[in-house]
Structure 1
Amino acid sequence: MADEAIAAGRSAPTTTTENHELSRRRIGVAHIVFFVVAASSPLTVAAGGLPLSYATTGVVGIPVIYLVLATVLALFSGGYAAMSRHISNAGAFYAYVAQGLGRIPGVGASFVALVAYNAMQTGLYGLFGFAAAGVITAELGVDIPWWVASLAALLLIAFLGYRRIDLNARVLAVLLICESIIVVVFDASQVASAPAGLTMDAFSWSALTTGAVGAGFCWVMASFMGFESGAIYSEECRDPRRTVGRATYIAVGVIGVFYAFTAWAMGIGAGTGRVIDQAGEHGPDLLFVLGSDAMGPTFGRIGAVFLVTAVFAALLSFHNAVARYFFSLGREGVLPRGLGRTHPRHGSPYVGSVTQTLIAAVVLFVFAIVGDDPTETLFNWFTNLGALGVILLLVITSVSVIGFFLRDPRGENGWGRIVAPSLAALALAVILVLAIINFHALLGTPPDSMLNWLIPSLVLIAGIIGLGYGWWIKENRSDTYHRIGQGTSAPTPLP
């Protein structure tokens, strides 16, 4: 019966009350692309990321930066895809680092990942609450606190996270298609109207080098967050040896080209010589202002509604990623074993899902009491913390790919084993340094603000605690130590 169910593409029913395996063969390339692109959220980038990147950096050549970073991340994807053909583990970065650099560094990476992805997911509740409360007030005339809207989203996401992965994929597909249509319509309207005419000046060298280019790379890098999450679903996809790599390449290409075009279209609509001033004046409303000028006020109203659903899609995507990290670490005993339990019917990492929900609820409670602007504090602080952590993980993972294949090439070519990950590690390390140096530009704080070093230090602290905990496991829990990074596979010799 179980074999027949698997052959038909369904998960075999489970009769035990405790299960430690995710549902199998539920999703394919398209589903993972939906998860990945939804995390980066096209409409959120277009409405928030692009205007802020223009306004805070003064760089007209933002479209060029998207293409440059897409190239860098394609290099990263070369090694990432090669490693995904040999490792199938919901822990993704954690498993790759453990099998590439050693078990103790793997635990260190897992702690950075937990902090980064929890911060990204939780921080988005600030933006969601602000946007949703604004729409409700504008359309219904009902004034509600931002945290009420955020709490409603949290409960719905908790329900979806408890259910099957393919249900989540279908929800994300619908939301992502809707927000992408809005962005495409906006792009077309700006190109069609083009008050100053069509020009490719934004792709010139002078456009790229004028302004705070380092901060521009940091802002644009944040737009790609989530592109790497395909490997998290490797245990649930139909063909992990091919699906993860293909989905990652597709996601990087789609995000890079789509966002570069949107950045160019926004510059065309505002006027290449005026887009910096326009972005500074209107901020996140720039997309709706330009869209309404070209198509009428209805676009602004519809766009505001779909911005809410776009942020919800990103919340759901990051929630699923965090739940699977908890599951992977619990299954291997690095964290309490209960986190490694999956639902007997849905095959979802429901304990990890509930844990992530509780963490987010606590943070929402604290920020609701404090009463600060949720976009300037909760959203801005937490998402930038998360982005910095993910960049660090990308650097470490690139080095891990090299270490993994040095011990055994496993039939992979030199490009995927050595060249691509080496180039990616160097380029991403430069971006990491730029992000740290320009962190005040990301936060919008004065250069001497305590937050500029306090928030980045949390990533470092998480990694150090993880390394110390990994060493403690080695000295005191040998059985657990040998399971680190192995997933459902038998323990193998690692550094």
Structure 2
Amino acid sequence: MAIPDVVSSSSRTGRRRIGVAELVFFVVAASAPLTVAAGGMPTQFAVTGVVGVPLLYILLAILLTLFTGGYAAMSRSISNTGAFYAYVSHGLGRTAGVGTAFVALLSYNTMQIGLYGLFGFVTADLLNTRMGLNLPWWAVALAGVVVVAVLGYRRIDLNARVLGVLLAVEFLTVLIFDLGMVAQAPERLSAAPLEFGALGSGAVGAAFCFAMAAFMGFEAAAIYSEECRDPRRAVGRATYIAVGLIGAFYAFTAWAMTMGTGASKIVAQSAEHGPGLVFVLAEQHVGRVFSDLTQVFLATSVFAALLSFHNAVARYFFSLGREGVLPDVLGRTHVRHGSPHVGSMTQTALAAAVVVAFALSGGDPMLTFFSWFTNLGALGVILLLVLTSAAVAGFFARDRRGEHAWNTMIAPIASGIGLAVVFVLALLNFGALLGSEQGSMLTWVLPGLIFAAGALGLAFATYLRSARPEVYARIGRGA
């Protein structure tokens, strides 16, 4: 039966509705500031024993600013919802591009789906403690899947407005928390956690990986380039703003949290309270009402990240469907909303299926579902950043297109080397990120999925080159 309000499209996702501010909303929402502050930072301190966590955020912000130089230059030459996939296709070749696309699909899907474990657990606990509703985590997670599906089906600017409101509340909450820690610090305020000496003890490699995971999603601006009013300027500006904002905000929050407990106690307090440390400190330094509100806003923070990653995955599906790498039906857009609604529904179906399967398995939503999936996704995105750095250098080596050498060669090569080091550190410390026992099979099985996805993409591209050359010629070329 024909659906009257849907049209098949092989060109673009809809009218150019969004600008720099909206792009920043999508990018920063994916990094989930309150989720990082409440869950990521205490775990980072406890697992690694590194007091210099605030400094790590600054160092990574500098590294990712280098990456953004080449990334922004690439966005001025190529506008494609496939982002990494399109950039690598142009810079390293179509075969490498499809391999990158498969890694991107695995990474962004696992990142998004894994967040449902956190969302279900946090929101179910909130409903139980505050309203007396005893709901299983998976029921709450599936309710989240439905709401995200409805918003993902709609116009992109509606999503941006929702994220803008949630993000404003989230930032204000974390800022009040930070100021409360600094105003009532039990020890003298000190810049010691921001000095290199603070990295002298503990598992620094693992701490770097935790910090890198907090930046996940910063690179998403290019995914919405076809929906920007001025993609040549908006993508680069939004990415620079997001990296600077995330880096400075997280560094300040980690430092404030350290001051709130005292630098000598932050590791022990984090180990004792875990993700509950933020709520304990908030109640001590700001008040019980604020602590309760923080729990509510944590749930909305995770939801904002879910929506942001959902939109990114939907656009990757659309880009690959439009070019014939995946089934053509994925390249359809909604005639009224201009959204890649088939890609959106596909991601929704995947998420719902995995949540149901995991619920039936009886696994822990936090220690297994959330931890396994999001760490796998973060590892894959780091690899994508390395490949994109190489692609930028390769692309502009053939034609500078009027860009400065800093953006076309120096920054991409420097960031590529730095990100490759981070990727190796993440591989070597993957067991610590998962909290698994030494020698656990998970430390090589999960990372192996990333390399398997890449190999499958390379093999499929080789098949397309010989069996479907017309499709192979369109790879990474967009509309």
Name the amino acid aligned to 2:7.
T
Partner of 1:92: 83
Q: In terms of mean alpha carbon deviation, does 364-373 or 350-359 score higher?
A: 364-373
Between the aligned partners of 1:239 and 1:157, the Cα distance in structure 2 is 27
Report the Cα offset of residue 486 of structure 1.
0.2
TM-score for both structures, normalised by structure 2? 0.98
Name the amino acid aligned to 2:220.
S
Identity within the alignment, % = 60
Partner of 1:347: 338
Q: Do structure 1's residue 156 and structure 2's residue 147 form an aligned pair? A: yes
Report the Cα offset of residue 287 of structure 1.
0.6
Find 2:289's aligned residue among 295, 298, 302: 298
Q: Deviations over 1:206-229 (max 9, x none)?
A: 211211000010000000000000
Name the amino acid aligned to 1:18.
S
Partner of 2:306: 315
Q: Do structure 1's residue 324 and structure 2's residue 315 form an aligned pair? A: yes
Partner of 1:171: 162
Between the aligned partners of 2:195 and 2:69, the Cα distance in structure 1 is 28
Q: Do structure 1's residue 28 and structure 2's residue 22 form an aligned pair? A: no
Residues 5 and 334 of structure 2 are in contact (CA less than 8 Å); yes or no, is this contact kept in structure 1? Answer: no
Partner of 2:405: 414
Q: 1:50 to 1:15 in 2, by over 3 A?
A: closer
Q: Do structure 1's residue 226 and structure 2's residue 217 form an aligned pair? A: yes
Between the aligned partners of 2:472 and 2:196, the Cα distance in structure 1 is 51
Between the aligned partners of 2:116 and 2:194, the Cα distance in structure 1 is 35
Residues 19 and 344 of structure 1 are in contact (CA less than 8 Å); yes or no, is this contact kept in structure 2? Answer: no
Structure 2: gaps spanning 5 or more residues: none
Name the amino acid aligned to 1:454.
V
Q: Deviations over 1:262-306 (max 9, x none)?
A: 000000001100000000000000011001001221122111000
Q: Deviations over 1:158-206 (max 9, x none)?
A: 0001000000000000001111111000000000001112111111222
Report the Cα offset of residue 19 of structure 1.
2.8
Between the aligned partners of 2:243 and 2:286, the Cα distance in structure 1 is 30
Q: Do structure 1's residue 432 and structure 2's residue 423 form an aligned pair? A: yes
Q: Deviations over 1:55-82 (max 9, x none)?
A: 0000000000000000000000000000
Report the Cα offset of residue 24 of structure 1.
2.2
Residues 95 and 458 of structure 2 are in contact (CA less than 8 Å); yes or no, is this contact kept in structure 1? Answer: yes
Partner of 2:386: 395
Residues 107 and 467 of structure 1 are in contact (CA less than 8 Å); yes or no, is this contact kept in structure 2? Answer: yes
Q: CA RMSD in A?
A: 0.9
Q: Deviations over 1:348-405 (max 9, x none)?
A: 0000000000000110011110122101111000000000000000000000001100
Q: Which runs of 4+ in 1 moved over 6 A?
A: none
Matches within 5 A, 1:26-105: 26-105=17-96
Q: In terms of mean alpha carbon deviation, does 201-210 or 158-167 score higher?
A: 201-210
Find 1:280's aligned residue among 255, 264, 271: 271
Report the Cα offset of residue 17 of structure 1.
3.0
Find 1:268's aligned residue among 246, 259, 282: 259
Find 1:18's aligned residue among 8, 22, 35: 8
Between the aligned partners of 1:257 and 1:34, the Cα distance in structure 2 is 16
Q: In terms of mean alpha carbon deviation, does 65-74 or 203-212 score higher?
A: 203-212
SS of the residue 1:17 aligns to = strand
Partner of 1:493: none
Between the aligned partners of 1:45 and 1:426, the Cα distance in structure 2 is 26
SS of the residue 1:342 aligns to = strand
Between the aligned partners of 1:35 and 1:337, the Cα distance in structure 2 is 27
Between the aligned partners of 2:135 and 2:201, the Cα distance in structure 1 is 43
Between the aligned partners of 2:238 and 2:438, the Cα distance in structure 1 is 39
Between the aligned partners of 2:403 and 2:331, the Cα distance in structure 1 is 32
Q: 1:474 to 1:182 in 2, by over 3 A?
A: same
Between the aligned partners of 2:332 and 2:366, the Cα distance in structure 1 is 35
Between the aligned partners of 2:245 and 2:5, the Cα distance in structure 1 is 41
Between the aligned partners of 1:287 and 1:294, the Cα distance in structure 2 is 10
SS of the residue 1:85 aligns to = helix
Q: Do structure 1's residue 139 and structure 2's residue 109 form an aligned pair? A: no
Q: Deviations over 1:451-473 (max 9, x none)?
A: 01110000000000000000100
TM-score for both structures, normalised by structure 1? 0.95
Q: 1:189 to 1:15 in 2, by over 3 A?
A: closer
Report the Cα offset of residue 428 of structure 1.
0.3
SS of the residue 2:50 aligns to = coil
Q: Deviations over 1:112-157 (max 9, x none)?
A: 0000000000000000000000000011111110011101110000
SS of the residue 1:467 aligns to = helix
Partner of 1:487: 478
Partner of 1:123: 114
Name the amino acid aligned to 1:130.
F
Report the Cα offset of residue 236 of structure 1.
0.1
Partner of 1:492: none
Residues 8 and 329 of structure 2 are in contact (CA less than 8 Å); yes or no, is this contact kept in structure 1? Answer: no
Report the Cα offset of residue 40 of structure 1.
0.2
Name the amino acid aligned to 1:202.
P
Matches within 5 A, 1:178-189: 178-189=169-180
Partner of 1:491: none
Residues 190 and 265 of structure 1 are in contact (CA less than 8 Å); yes or no, is this contact kept in structure 2? Answer: yes
Find 2:103's aligned residue among 93, 112, 130: 112
Partner of 2:354: 363
Between the aligned partners of 2:201 and 2:49, the Cα distance in structure 1 is 7
Find 1:450's aligned residue among 433, 441, 445: 441
Partner of 1:201: 192
Residues 123 and 380 of structure 1 are in contact (CA less than 8 Å); yes or no, is this contact kept in structure 2? Answer: yes
SS of the residue 1:84 aligns to = helix
Report the Cα offset of residue 18 of structure 1.
2.2
Residues 6 and 334 of structure 2 are in contact (CA less than 8 Å); yes or no, is this contact kept in structure 1? Answer: no
Between the aligned partners of 1:299 and 1:202, the Cα distance in structure 2 is 26
Residues 227 and 248 of structure 1 are in contact (CA less than 8 Å); yes or no, is this contact kept in structure 2? Answer: yes
Matches within 5 A, 1:469-488: 469-488=460-479
Name the amino acid aligned to 1:188.
L
Q: Do structure 1's residue 250 and structure 2's residue 233 form an aligned pair? A: no
Residues 110 and 377 of structure 2 are in contact (CA less than 8 Å); yes or no, is this contact kept in structure 1? Answer: yes
